[in-house]
Amino acid sequence: MSNEKIHTNKADLWQDKEGICHLNYEPTAYLEEKDIAEQLHLLAENIGTTTPDLVMVNGRYTRGMSATARHLLRTQSYKAMAVVVDSSLSRLVFDFLRANQPPHFPVKLFRDEEQATEWLLRFKE
């Protein structure tokens, strides 16, 4: 995937020069399993894999995601995922879900994209 953004009905996807795959969700998006499947398909077409090593999710404006969408994301083999949120309520909900259904890769919440990038780059080979 290049620096060029790919637009779906609920997100923009792109990979930056550091190899971080960005998922920037539309305001008030509610993500279903089909949305995640579409994004994974686009990743496979554009970078050759459905599971990029490093992923940054901008979850500031999303309304959430279905249990099946969470399950599909949780079963991927990312090296690390940074999720950028801007509210304490979002952090609380995310921490609750992560504690009850932990992914098989490191996930950390951030308020700032620069800090998220620094953390993700620690996992780069």
Burial of 102 (0-12, 13-18, 19+ CB in 10 A): exposed
Lowest mean pLDDT among 37-41, 53-57, 95-99, 103-107: 95-99
* Average pLDDT, integer, range 61-85: 86
Q: How far is Cα 79 from Cα 77, in angstroms, rounded to an integer?
A: 7
pLDDT tens per residue across span 82-119: 999 887 655 556 565 556 667 778 989 899 999 999 99
Task: Decide if 1 is inside a domain.
Answer: no
* Prediction pTM value: 0.83
Task: Decide if 47 is inside a domain.
Answer: yes
Containing structural domain, residue 83 = 6-121
Q: How far is Cα 92 from Cα 99, in angstroms, rounded to an integer?
A: 11
Residue with tokens 């979850």: 59
Q: Tell me, what CATH number does 64's domain have?
A: 3.30.750.24
* Average pLDDT, integer, range 49-70: 83
Q: How far is Cα 40 from Cα 96, in angstroms, rounded to an integer?
A: 25
Q: What does the mean pLDDT of the chain come to?
A: 83
* Average pLDDT, integer, range 27-40: 89
Which ranges in 1-125 belong to alpha helices (H)?
33-47, 67-74, 88-100, 113-121
pLDDT of residue 93: 62
Count of the separate structural domains present in the chain: 1
Residues paired with 65 in a beta bridge:
31
